[in-house]
Amino acid sequence: IVLSGNSTLEGLTGNFGKSIALNNAASKLNLNVATPISSNINLAGGTINLTGNAQLADGKMVKGAGTINANGNKLATGGQPLTIGNN
């Protein structure tokens, strides 16, 4: 899924494995999902606004430059140790 403008992913359940990419710095994603996100999220300079807690599946992460506004919520990584490299 490539998101541009102001987009919302909320209330999703089950295995959400679609690739998520913000289109550019003007892209904003309002995120509140009940299931671990089983793909990386590419910020591409955009912004994620957490409107509820969200969790990434094991080994998945947010990539690229951009902003995450937690708004008092949490963005958790999976249950396995996560190694963050230079890429």
Q: What is the per-residue pLDDT across 34-83, written as a single tens digit (0 to 9) for each?
A: 788 888 899 999 999 999 998 888 888 899 999 999 999 999 988 777 66
Spatial neighbors of 60 by CB under 8 A, at least 6 apart, are: 36, 37, 38, 39, 40, 41, 77, 78
- pLDDT for the residue 77: 85
Spatial neighbors of 12 by CB under 8 A, at least 6 apart, are: 33, 34, 35
- pLDDT for the residue 79: 79
- pLDDT for the residue 87: 56
Q: What is the per-residue pLDDT across 3-34, written as a single tens digit (0 to 9) for each?
A: 677 777 666 555 566 788 889 999 998 888 87
